[in-house]
Amino acid sequence: MDWSRVKDKNIYIDVNISKMNEIGARIIGGKEADPNSVPYMAAVLVNGNVFCGGSLITRSWVLTAAHCTEEGSYARIILGAHRPLQIESTQITVTSNNIINHPRWDSTRLIHDIALIKLPSQVPDSSIIHPIPIAPANSGSFAGVTGLLTGWGYTSDQTPGLSETLQQVYLQFISVEECREYAGILAHETNICTSGFNGNQNVGSCFGDSGSPIVADGVQVGVVSFGSRQCALGSITSYARVSSYADWIESYTQS
């Protein structure tokens, strides 16, 4: 595999940075995850050259972002990885050409940015590779709740490129109204946002790849969709709100 050809597919927007200090410090911290401590985490390589994150939500299905897979004819899924650019004994790699983008995905409005990938067969269940439940349709807003975001994305503006190791960061969800102060009309009810500003340092939105999961209270709450263009300035990361799509997801995963 020629990893030099691989690129991310992150979406960035210009945000209202004048509102930034009103949120204040909301994150706990960012660091390298302990190896194989996030058993649902998936690396998703689309068409051999687009890298995104994803999550194993059943033994046969991976959840990711539609903007990652919208032009995809196949996806290579790496499970059980800490260093996905290397071969590790814990890894399982499968290839799927069964990609299902949400039918209402809108790349202009950045809405319904969610997709499913069906694996060719069930993967073995273990402590290293294990699905994460999705947030049910009747979930609340999660505003004020802390979630765990994981991914292999940029660790700063100064060091663009994939992180060699899985990164993690704790972030606090904010309300849709608060998110609209930054993202304006792009903050939809079917999205959920976190703050990534902590004093003079952002350790949030740069860590997560597009498609990566954010988890709270033992369920997946969001799928990374877009964030601030100026990563080092902090601000928000926006996710597809998983509970808004629970019925759509389960129409495939439970059929």
Measured CA to CA, the distance from residue 15 to residue 181 in angstroms comes to 8
Using CA atoms, how far residue 100 sits from 37, 61, 92, 223, 234, in Å, is 28, 11, 22, 15, 32
Q: For residues 96 and 64, is the Cβ–Cβ distance under 8 A?
A: no
Q: Tell me if 80 sits within 8 A of 93, measured CB to CB.
A: no
What is the token pair recorded at 160? 């663009």
> Bridge partners of 94?
77
Cβ proximity of 146 and 28 under 8 Å: yes
Contacts of 170 (CB under 8 A, 6+ apart): 27, 28, 29, 30, 146, 147, 148, 149
SS3 for 95-111 is EECCEEECCCCECCCCE
pTM for this prediction: 0.87
Q: 251 catalytic, yes or no?
A: no
Tokens of 193: 């946002």
Count other C-beta atoms under 10 Å from residue 86's C-beta.
11
Per the residue annotation, which of 55, 82, 112, 113 is the catalytic one? 113
Angle in degrees, CA 80, 252, 42, rounded to 5: 15
Spatial distance between the Cα atoms of 39 and 234, rounded to a whole number of angstroms? 28
For this structure, is 113 an active site residue? yes
CATH H-level superfamily of 41-131+245-253: Trypsin-like serine proteases (2.40.10.10)
**Contact status, residue 125 vs residue 101, Cβ threshold 8 Å:** no
**Amino acid letter, 59:** R
- 8, 55, 60, 67: the catalytic one is 67
Task: From the candidates 139, 210, 228, 235, give the one annotated as an active-site residue.
Answer: 210
Residues of the chain with CATH 2.40.10.10: 11-35+133-243, 41-131+245-253
Query: Tens-digit pLDDT profile for the chain (255 aa)?
Result: 554 555 555 544 444 433 333 322 222 347 899 999 999 999 999 998 889 999 999 999 999 999 999 999 999 999 999 999 899 999 999 999 999 999 999 998 889 999 999 999 999 999 999 999 999 999 999 999 999 999 987 666 555 567 889 989 888 999 988 888 877 767 789 999 988 655 445 545 554 488 999 999 999 999 999 876 655 555 678 899 999 999 999 999 998
Active site residue 210: yes
Is the CATH number of domain 11-35+133-243 3.30.1490.100? Answer: no
d(CA 214, CA 212): 7
